Structure 1
């Protein structure tokens, strides 16, 4: 069977044979460095210079993940061709590949020429927009390294602990861009064998697989598991940088922590419980660090407002009068829109109402609140962006909200997200309680089967999932007073 170019693959291909090189490979574990593998991602190339995204689902990660070695060339057959995800795309293209249990892989001992050394699509610094249409796709940038920070542990009792480091780069216009590397990527980044402090020769770097973010008003790129870098790459776009640095010297202080083993900060360990246990508790008995629970979002209650107008001057962001748009605390008229997201979720043992403030809600919805308000200003109706979160599965860090201490009705406040598992194809429901003798052998939870089908895909900064939308039992009115 002749090898088929990657560019010639179609959705109908089931028995095509391709000759590919594993160009890049990374494991996605969600929001934690040492969590379970949610999927393994690869960029595959062929000898004609084409590239395609390929994914190994979680249930095959342990058995098939090690078969694919970076830099090796293989003949691969019996893989699945699917439409490329619309978000978190590491390469351009309409299609992607999935490794299946029956996928065959044969190592090639001869290496044809033509496989690309670099796979990238550069974005200029001024086009990096954390709220733009490409905010959930990976960005590649080129620049000269000007500064490297030491590795710093980060985290608190509500967010899984990790560590990061910042790398500052500049373009030919001397615009500065911050790259924040996380976890293992932070520890792996080192200039020890590349930069000579005596000669001070500048280093050109190509970063690939970064996501645009905004922190305290600063636009930056975040480098997680998908991030990779190349020092002094031999690409056409770098030639102008090399011409400039011929007569330039840059003093880069190499952090002393490069050679040390970094241990993330330790925090009290949280227990993981199901909803039935958590809802049975007295709110006063929940520990300060909260509990973890894994649930699927089942519905969005109607009649709940999903955002409020907050003061942008006061530290605690109190609500602003929606009519006069003035803060009652400081009298400021500088306001912003912030989420107050309410939904119901279940794990099959119980269903609970959950609530999330702006930071957590933004991660779940995938868009900042002002962006959604601009297209859907009615706070009492359900916008499509929020309706779309139904059927997504998460592991949350939760505690009871303040009203649960005063009334019998309980609501869980989400303090953080441990992991995201993407969109589920069925929703768990709680079994009806019957006054009958229960069997000694536990029965499986009943499921509501939905029409959507989705491969096993995860989170976003946390999820990288992008599955077909699932019909929801939700109604929302057209936007009112649309600007």
Structure 2
């Protein structure tokens, strides 16, 4: 037994009899034991048990109806270039680059475990473990480790969202044998990347083809300029794992890069552990999509994140970045935060799209009515505006972690709006109400109670005239498509900002610079308050 090689093999042990290579019964040992055994299922199909097998054993044959383990070491090492469709008994040797769960996007049902593998020639291929075999192999998988695999099946690669070039996938079969290799004599590359630029992503947009990698320097993180004082909003990211980056490759066009769920969490963990603010980012297997007509890149479950000095491509890019300090000021951060425009009908269509994510849009609409008979404001924390909770004797803020705060009235008002073809309900939150009426909610509430001293504090204050007077006005609203919209729990869209009406220019006399500056008003402030309180109204 070679103690430097651990072998993990597939098998259904619910109704099996264990024997050694001589055909004698043996006792089962733990996965860390040294017993050499194979399992003979009652169904008569030869399977190999997940206990440790003889080191170097590579071939399994039938002899008089019984399975025997051959101690003969296989010399048939197959290159990824030579892997074809169908069953293989030859041995593969590779480094495991990355692995992730594949799930149905609608039902979230586990489809299997996908892997990215690289051989000693630097060829990358995709691997796949069916769901019934995941528990056998998953405990022994570690990204970056070297493995040997025998008895596998070459299946045809999927045609959508591929992450490797070969049209064949290494699929683990019922008798696959996976061994962790301690042989350091062979040099395996650590990784391999496939980079695309703006032009290539634009051509591949929405085609569901191969997923490629992207490297560049960050301009904005969640609308905040990248500088040494940049700090991530931990509370916001904990409630909604989403990162919006504005990234530029060399002097190319600026691109929006959305990171979601586990990839967003990975970004945050590495960002915090980095020590100083990273400038260069590499994200693998990104999907080019159009949100509101603009080209964007979005992460998928197979995506990984690297910063400044993590891998060779980021180190090379960082060297270029330091040698070209002028690139840091090439793009106006205020201009690039301009939000995509959408009609009410396009908002409703967007939330029905497969794979739609949280996003912001500018929507020009006319106010038709203000919903009355319900509270039009909430009491929030005077510091962060989060909805306050009532304690025994004081108001408390979960976000700030304080048990005693000063409560301030904030807008939470529902209005009915329409455009040329459709109607919808918008919910005004926080400063969005002030931008519309010119009056703070706290001011309107205080003035009401001053004029009605006999009213109790829990009395529902009627909708103020300042809101009623907005009926009939047309405005450009910045609205958030929230998670509640995407899940169908809420039909109303949250308004995070109301933009000033644009002056009507004489036809044929448009100032291009003035047009660009209009987008600068949609800055980071419009989105900060959108996650403070989510409307739960239908």
TM-score with structure 2 length normalisation?
0.43
TM-score normalised per structure 1: 0.47
* Higher share of residues assigned helix: 2
RCO higher in structure (CA 8 A, sep ≥6): 1
